[in-house]
């Protein structure tokens, strides 16, 4: 039925061994015994076996391929970055292969070795949360394979990088909460040993100061997951003087807080307004929809790969480029408060003011 071309499977069947053994024997793989190699090669000759196109391409090295290391694929932000990278890569005739470090230093080192020994032309990397030693990256850069870092970058090596203006994003979020009348704004923050944790907390402090809102360091609460935010908010709402605004370090944390507020019978945004960070696909699915900071993951991916392609095309070395990506506040229902009539404006002494 399938024509008479001899395949590796035919050789395997004849010798009662597996096709992968035949394949490795033909490639002179060290795991295969000399005896098997002789048998396979003799039969291949006898049957006039011709390796097909893909088998032949095995003899060439990898090329036109870029490697991508992602901490956690499950996050909407990172999957947007992947889309941006892939769209530009395919248009430029490159393929992209992805490894997930799963936030582990050990896996990141293995990922890097795998990609480099697969002979990728260049690398795009966001560093794992665990990584504090960057020698593995230094070695790769020394071999002449360019790396562009994005989002979580490595400050010890001078390479091209794309970073998000997290402090400014956080500032916009908290400034917005202040502008809709929130007086006691808490920040659910990521670990302060992470750059994004520190930068977003910095933006929070700046906006509080600019708006003359009093705050203490206790109002920056280490809490960056849905479950943590739900419990934390339940506890805060039992206190005498609960917050009237929450700025969460990511959307899932914001959604955990919203669920606790709704379950306590309070109104979002009029009792407590909430802002997240990411603008993931969750943000429009909640009720009320979530005001959040758009990080432009897709654009970050596009900019990162364009830096890498420029580096690959260049015939001379040039200084490392850092691109800072601005964020945008996306205002939705979770901060659209009904304007409350202030005591001052409704007092008799001011009743002469005209409402036009």
Q: Which of residues 208-267 bind a second copy (CB under 8 A)?
A: 226, 252, 255-256, 259, 262-263
C-beta of 141 vs 202, nearer to a second copy: 141
d(CA 203, CA 282): 23
Contact 290, 334 (CB under 8 A): yes
C-beta of 96 vs 124, nearer to a second copy: 96
CB of 129 to a second copy, least distance (A): 17
Contact 340, 271 (CB under 8 A): no
Using CB under 8 A, which residues numbered 286 to 315 contact a second copy?
286-287, 311-312, 314-315
Please name the residues in contact with 348: beta carbons below 8 A apart, sequence gap of 6 or more: none
C-beta of 81 vs 167, nearer to a second copy: 81
Using the rule CB under 8 A, is 38 a contact of a second copy? no
d(CA 320, CA 224): 33
Site string for a second copy, 153-192 (x = CB under 8 A): ----------------------------------------
Q: Which of 41, 92, 102, 333 binds a second copy (CB under 8 A)?
A: 102
Q: Which of 44, 100, 176, 244 binds a second copy (CB under 8 A)?
A: 100
Using the rule CB under 8 A, is 86 a contact of a second copy? yes
Using the rule CB under 8 A, is 346 a contact of a second copy? no
Please provide the DSSP assignment of 19-64 as one string. HHHHHHHHTT-TTS-HHHHHHHHHHHHHTT----HHHHHTTSPP-S
Q: Which helix (H) or strand (E) holds 148?
A: strand 147-150
Using CB under 8 A, which residues numbered 42 to 81 contact a second copy?
51-55, 57-58, 60-62, 65, 73-74, 76, 79
Q: Which of 39, 92, 116, 195 binds a second copy (CB under 8 A)?
A: 116
CB of 344 to a second copy, least distance (A): 36
The SS3 call for residue 127 is: coil
Contact 246, 275 (CB under 8 A): yes
**Burial status of residue 70 (CB atoms within 10 A of its CB: 0-12, 13-18, 19 or more):** buried
Contact 352, 285 (CB under 8 A): no
């Amino acid at each position: 039925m399938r024509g008479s071309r001899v395949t590796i499977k035919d050789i395997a069947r004849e010798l009662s061994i597996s096709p992968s053994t035949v394949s490795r024997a033909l490639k002179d793989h060290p795991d295969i015994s000399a005896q098997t190699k002789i048998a396979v090669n003799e039969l291949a000759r006898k049957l006039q076996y011709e390796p097909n196109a893909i088998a032949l391409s095995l003899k060439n090295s990898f090329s036109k391929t870029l490697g991508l290391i992602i901490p956690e694929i499950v996050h909407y932000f990172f999957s947007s970055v992947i889309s941006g990278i892939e769209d530009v890569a395919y248009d430029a005739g490159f393929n992209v292969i992805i490894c997930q470090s799963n936030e582990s230093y050990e896996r990141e080192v293995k990922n890097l070795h795998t990609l480099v020994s697969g002979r990728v032309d260049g690398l795009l990397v966001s560093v794992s949360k665990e990584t504090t030693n960057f020698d593995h990256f230094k070695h790769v850069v020394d071999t002449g394979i360019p790396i562009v870092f994005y989002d979580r970058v490595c400050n010890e090596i001078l390479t091209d990088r794309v970073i998000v203006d997290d402090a400014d994003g956080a500032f916009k979020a908290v400034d917005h909460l202040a502008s809709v009348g929130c007086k006691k704004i808490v920040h659910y923050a990521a670990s302060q040993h992470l750059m994004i944790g520190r930068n977003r907390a910095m933006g929070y402090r700046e906006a509080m100061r600019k708006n003359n809102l009093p705050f203490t360091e206790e109002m920056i609460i280490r809490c960056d997951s849905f479950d943590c935010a739900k419990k934390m908010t339940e506890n805060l709402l039992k206190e005498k003087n609960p917050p009237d605004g929450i700025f969460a370090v990511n959307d899932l944390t914001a959604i955990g807080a919203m669920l606790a507020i709704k379950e306590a019978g309070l109104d979002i945004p009029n009792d407590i307004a909430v802002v997240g960070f990411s603008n993931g696909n969750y943000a429009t699915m909640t009720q009320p929809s979530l005001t959040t900071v758009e990080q432009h993951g897709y654009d970050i991916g596009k900019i990162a790969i364009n830096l890498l392609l420029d580096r690959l095309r260049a015939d001379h070395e040039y200084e490392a480029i850092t691109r800072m990506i601005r964020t945008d506040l996306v205002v939705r229902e979770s901060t659209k408060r009904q304007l409350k009539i202030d005591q001052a404006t409704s007092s008799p002494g001011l009743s002469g003011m005209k409402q036009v």
